[in-house]
């Protein structure tokens, strides 16, 4: 049995919907195999490090990417200059709103659930969780990871996090989830001055439904592993898969799909 993180819940739901491979989910969350980070993930790690000092989970220290190295024109790359400026803006926001940071990178594990909270803070005499995002999709309406405010209530994959984290911290502190606030601080990776501070309110029914889902996932994980996590090979998915070299289910030509007309 593993402690269930919000990221595992997202990927398990994607797997159950047929949108990802069960063997990838198993490798990542059961076997502990580290998958390569994308550029976007590395930018996010760097932003969080320069903003809060939090070191990425794998322990590496983000370094500023340089261009024209060894010449008189040596300077920060355009993207990393934006990251540095966004990190400074984050610090100014913290100062402006008189937010008292209590903890960063806090790991909370309760009742078979777990989570790593970017920031636990005190704001207007209330305990809050702040999760920082560094995204190129700050106004995107259509992506599952877009932060357009009109569409955000429908982004259930993004809103799992505030629900689970409020539950976890409330259990740790011995209070009700409603006594803890949750904020996303979303910084654009394209434009430094494009930022959204989003407070997420979570009602009792959403919390109850989340706990019911967690219990269902726990019951699924009690079954034999090979019955829970099955291969779902697709050509593109297999081609990009980090564990394909040792996979007996990978495909190298596309399946034939059939439709009726």
pLDDT of residue 56: 83
Alpha-carbon dihedral sign for residues 184, 190, 195, 201: negative
Contact, 252 vs 260, CB < 8 A?
A: no
pLDDT of residue 106: 95
CA distance 49 to 29: 24
Phi and psi at residue 19, to the nearest 5°: -100, 0
Rounded to the nearest 5 degrees, what angle is found at the Cα of 252, between the Cα atoms of 246 and 255?
120
pLDDT of residue 42: 93
**In 3D, which of 37, 22, 74 has the Cα closest to residue 226?**
22
pLDDT of residue 46: 95
Q: Is 33 left (phi over 0), alpha (psi -120 to 50) or beta?
A: beta
pLDDT of residue 2: 87
pLDDT in tens, the chain (261 residues): 789 999 999 999 999 999 999 999 999 999 999 998 889 999 999 999 999 999 888 788 899 999 999 999 999 999 999 999 999 999 999 999 999 999 999 999 999 999 999 999 999 999 999 999 999 999 999 999 999 999 999 999 999 999 999 999 999 999 999 999 999 999 999 999 999 999 999 999 999 999 999 999 999 999 999 999 999 999 999 999 999 999 999 999 999 999 999
Residue 243 corresponds to which tokens in the numbers above? 């564990």
**In 3D, which of 109, 208, 126 has the Cα closest to residue 165?**
109
pLDDT of residue 86: 98
pLDDT of residue 60: 86
pLDDT of residue 22: 96
Contact, 17 vs 25, CB < 8 A?
A: no
Enumerate the β-bridge partners of residue 123: 126
DSSP SS3 for 64: coil
């Amino acid at each position: 049995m593993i402690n269930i993180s919000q990221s595992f819940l997202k990927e398990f739901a994607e797997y159950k919907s047929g949108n990802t491979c069960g063997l990838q989910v198993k490798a990542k969350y059961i076997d502990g195999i580290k998958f390569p980070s994308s550029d976007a993930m590395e930018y996010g790690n760097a932003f969080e490090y320069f903003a809060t000092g939090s070191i990425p989970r794998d322990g590496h220290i983000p370094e500023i990417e340089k261009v024209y190295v060894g010449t008189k024109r040596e300077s920060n790359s355009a993207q990393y200059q934006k990251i540095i400026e966004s990190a400074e803006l984050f610090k100014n926001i913290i100062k402006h709103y008189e937010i008292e940071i209590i903890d960063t990178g806090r790991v909370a594990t309760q009742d078979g659930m777990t989570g790593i909270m970017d920031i636990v803070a005190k704001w207007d005499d209330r305990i809050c969780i702040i999760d920082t995002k560094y995204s190129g999709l700050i106004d995107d309406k259509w992506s599952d990871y877009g932060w357009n405010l009109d569409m955000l209530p429908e982004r259930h994959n993004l809103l799992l996090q505030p629900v689970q984290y409020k539950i976890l911290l409330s259990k740790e502190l011995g209070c009700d989830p409603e006594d803890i606030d949750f904020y996303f601080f979303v910084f654009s990776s394209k434009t430094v001055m494009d930022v959204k501070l989003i407070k997420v309110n979570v009602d009792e029914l959403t919390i109850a439904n989340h706990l019911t889902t967690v219990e269902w996932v726990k019951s699924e994980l009690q079954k034999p592993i090979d019955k829970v996590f099955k291969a779902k090979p697709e050509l593109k998915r297999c081609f990009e898969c980090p564990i394909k070299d040792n996979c007996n289910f990978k495909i190298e030509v596309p399946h034939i799909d059939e439709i009726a007309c």
